[in-house]
A and B are shown apart, each in its own frame.
Chain A
Amino acid sequence: MRHLVHMLLFATLLAVFFATMYRPRGARLRFGLAVWGALVGSALGLALLMYPFT
């Protein structure tokens, strides 16, 4: 469970960081959510793909 928490926390830190750097300011929230979704989604997707081999 703590692995998942750290993955979500790591993705959140990165998403907030890149959203803060994004221009224009008005699009930051949407961009940040997209980054967070891409990070978490790809990680979970890869985990599901690898699950049969565990």
Chain B
Amino acid sequence: MGRVRGTRGETAGTPGEHHLDPARGVLAGFLAWVFPGAGHFFLGARREAVVYLVLVLGSLGLGVGLGGNLAMVDPRLPVLSGMHVFSNLGLGPMEPLIRTALYGSPAYVRHGEAPPALGPPPVTRRWRRSFSTWSGYGNGYLTLAGLMNLLVILDAWDIGSGRKRHPREDGA
């Protein structure tokens, strides 16, 4: 355990093998979840960190700017809507803050039906937003931002734990 065949071969031990460092991987993944790009910055992959930061925040900004909605769990489609909410949660701690800013409270479950039978205030605000012309595109960008950051978290985890080569080892 903790020792696998790899491609780096720069550590002590049998050539072609390197140590896994799960704790470093978890820390990098956690940092990536806390803020987009922070995990790669921690690992020294600063160019990648900046690109991920710009892509995730850019996509998030486009989503909010176009009137997109963060997903809510719909009791009629709990699995699909739950997966959608999970993709949003990839944005990390900023997600509930954005949700609160959009809906007035960190609402994760949709109560009530579509208009005119509007539910409590958060849902009312959500439905009002969903009527804007470009909100469908905004939803796409918001989902993209969360999914991209989920992949960034996994990438940071892999690089930090030693399962994936560090970008610098590939050369410029």
Binding site for B on A (CB under 8 A): 2, 6, 9-10, 13-14, 16-17, 20-21, 23-26
- Cα A9 to Cα B58 with chains together (Å): 11
With an 8 A cutoff between CB atoms, is B157 at the interface?
Answer: no
Q: Of B52, B137, B140, B172, which contacts A20 at CB under 8 A?
A: B52
User: What is the bound-complex CA distance between A14 and B141, given in angstroms?
Assistant: 11
A6 to B58, CA, bound (A): 13
- Beta-carbon contact of B48 and A20 below 8 Å: yes
Q: Which residues on B sit within 8 Å (CB–CB) of A17?
A: 51-52, 55, 148, 151
Residues A13 and B140 in contact in the complex (CB < 8 Å), given A20-B48, A25-B171? no
Q: Is the CB of B48 within 8 A of A13?
A: no
In the A-B complex, the 4 residue pairs with the smallest Cβ-Cβ separation, listed nearest first, are A24-B170, A25-B170, A20-B51, A6-B137
Name the residue among A2, A9, A25 with the largest chain B CB count within 10 angstroms: A25
Tell me the dominant secondary structure on chain B's binding face.
helix
B8 within 8 A of A: no
Q: Does B167 contact A (CB under 8 A)?
A: yes
19 sample A-B contacts, Cβ–Cβ < 8 Å, listed by A number: A10-B144, A13-B144, A16-B51, A16-B55, A17-B51, A17-B52, A20-B48, A20-B51, A20-B55, A21-B151, A23-B164, A23-B167, A24-B170, A24-B171, A25-B170, A25-B171, A26-B170, A26-B171, A26-B172
Nearest chain B residue, comparing its CB with the CB of A23: B170
- A10-B144, A23-B164, A23-B165 given; name 17 further pairs at CB < 8 Å: A2-B134, A6-B137, A13-B55, A13-B58, A13-B148, A16-B51, A17-B52, A17-B55, A17-B148, A20-B48, A20-B52, A23-B170, A24-B171, A25-B172, A26-B170, A26-B171, A26-B172
Q: With contacts A23-B170, A25-B167, A25-B170 known, is A13 near B59, CB below 8 A? A: yes
List, in ascending order, chain B residues with CB within 8 A of A20's CB: 48, 51-52, 55
CA distance A6 to B136 in the complex (A): 11
